[in-house]
Amino acid sequence: MEIDWKKNLYIAWVGCFFTGASFSLVMPFIPIYIEQLGAPQNKIEFYSGLSISVTALSGAIFSPIWGNLADRRGRKLMMLRAAAGMTITMGSLAFVPNVFWLLVMRFFNGVLAGYIPNATAMIASQAPREKNGWALGTLATGAVAGNLIGPSMGGFLAETVGIQNVFLVTGAILLANTLMTLLFVKEDFQPIAKKNMVSTKEVFKSVKKPSVLIGLFITTLILQIGITSISPILTLYIRDLGGEMDNILFISGLIVSVAGVSTFVSSPILGKIGDKVGNQRVLFCGLIFSLICIFPMSMVQTPFQLGLLRFFMGFSTGALMPSINTLISKLTPVEGVSRIFSFNNMFTNLGQVMGPLVGSTVANGYGYRSVFVATSLLITANIVLTFFNFKGELALKNPLK
């Protein structure tokens, strides 16, 4: 059966959009919901942070397990499993009686998640190698768009239908995603008996350049730490810069979201450029550009200056993860693509756990501006790592062929 990979790409894009929106939809009012569930006033921030970290941590633990199953049973099945599982875990948040059960369901949300990495693995395995960068860059914009629209949609729904009903709406969106994936995603995959399956150890042995792959995993980890280290303090930093501005909440939301706009615009374009000039070059240049954007954030004097730098930073973000995903797909044998992507997803989740802890610790000890300096040091380390990872290959167009 011949698969129309472009049709799959567009359907998976919608699925990633729904998934990204469902995650970000509930984030603006999680602290308020935790307060309503009876958490002590001095523990609300702690439980809010924990509710985010516990999802990422459980996702990191279980991602390789689902990746192994995807290589045996198919990526579409794992996309369905993730969409259906999150339908239950997100929808059930409307009925939790206290903070303990909210944290339990957030934990299982991470356990059952994995729609986006499995969609990425499926498109990486189906798209022609010469169009991989464009395909994965385009797919990445789905989650970005969902993350962009989610917070504003969630805030609007919380005010109109109430916080608990927002979780039901989120569950309904994920149920629609489950049905759409079931009916429209096509995959020609023959299930493999466990005894006939190539072991994960053998998959790693058959990777073209194992040291480069491990370097890309570490690059993903550092990248996620750098991105999420800013998250805990960004709104507070904007408030400090804005002083007594009446519309500071609106301005904060705008500045938080503006990087997503430039990421959305740039990902497919930079993916196509990577296909032509080499994804390792786009990755290296993206890291340098992100350093140029983030370090000056420690010295800005107005919210406008910060917003402008974040807008430009979005262009570098559009270069990074699609380039990493494309490079991984070119290194990986087809029979192990889901497992390799699941390990990269594990490093993504670990970075999302560590980043906020790093950011809040540095901010508490040295102030908000120091977080941007610390993030810049992490990016500098990532530039050095990438340079040595692709040493002698940055001058080549397609070193991984």
320 and 376 part of one domain: yes
Q: According to the model, what pLDDT value does residue 295 have?
A: 95
pLDDT at 30 over 90: no
- Alpha-carbon gap, residue 33 to 42, rounded angstroms: 15
Q: According to the model, what pLDDT value does residue 245 have?
A: 66
Mean pLDDT computed over every residue of the chain: 86
18 and 72 part of one domain: yes
What confidence category does residue 401 fall into, taking pLDDT thresholds of 50, 70 and 90?
Answer: low
Q: Residue 399 falls within a domain, yes or no? A: no
pLDDT at 363 over 80: yes
173 and 205 part of one domain: no
- Alpha-carbon gap, residue 310 to 304, rounded angstroms: 10
119 and 24 part of one domain: yes
Mean pLDDT, residues 27-33 taken together? 77
Render the burial of 182-214: b for 16+ CB within 10 Å, e for the rest.
eeebbeebeeeeeeebeebeebbeebebeebbe
Q: What is the CATH number of the domain that holds 299?
A: 1.20.1250.20
Please report how many Cα atoms fall inside a 13 Å half-sphere around the Cα of residue 283, on the Cβ side.
29
Mean pLDDT, residues 157-170 taken together? 86
pLDDT at 194 over 80: no
Residue pair 93/105 in contact (Cβ under 8 Å)? The answer is yes
155 and 209 part of one domain: no
Q: Residue 297 falls within a domain, yes or no? A: yes
Query: pLDDT tens digits for 103-146?
Result: 999 999 999 999 999 999 899 888 898 888 899 989 988 888 88
Q: Residue 401 falls within a domain, yes or no? A: no
For residue 336, give the DSSP letter: G
208 and 135 part of one domain: no
Q: Residue 168 falls within a domain, yes or no? A: yes
Q: Residue 351 falls within a domain, yes or no? A: yes
How many domains does the chain divide into? 2
Query: pLDDT tens digits for 55-91?
Result: 989 999 999 999 999 988 899 999 999 999 999 999 9
179 and 114 part of one domain: yes
Q: At what angle do helices 210-229 and 303-331 cross, to 10 degrees?
A: 160
Residue pair 126/259 in contact (Cβ under 8 Å)? The answer is no
Mean pLDDT, residues 183-212 taken together? 84
* Secondary structure of residue 26 in the 3-state scheme: coil
Given 152, 186, 220, which residue is the final one in a domain?
A: 186
Residue 255: other Cβ atoms inside 10 A: 23
Q: According to the model, what pLDDT value does residue 28 have?
A: 67
Query: pLDDT tens digits for 367-377?
Result: 889 989 999 99
Q: Which of 383, 20, 37, 97 is nearest to 223 (CA)?
A: 383
Q: Residue 397 falls within a domain, yes or no? A: no
Q: Which of 216-220, 230-234, 270-274 has the lowest mean pLDDT?
A: 230-234
Q: Which of 98-102, 298-302, 354-358 has the lowest mean pLDDT?
A: 354-358
167 and 287 part of one domain: no
Q: At what angle do helices 115-126 and 75-91 cross, to 10 degrees?
A: 160
124 and 207 part of one domain: no
pLDDT at 93 over 90: yes
pLDDT at 399 over 60: no
* Percent of the chain whose predicted confidence (pLDDT) is above 70: 94
- pTM of this prediction? 0.83
CA dihedral 277→146→15→356, nearest 10 degrees, is 80
Q: According to the model, what pLDDT value does residue 240 have?
A: 84
- Alpha-carbon gap, residue 68 to 200, rounded angstroms: 8
Q: Domain of residue 314: give its range.
A: 198-392
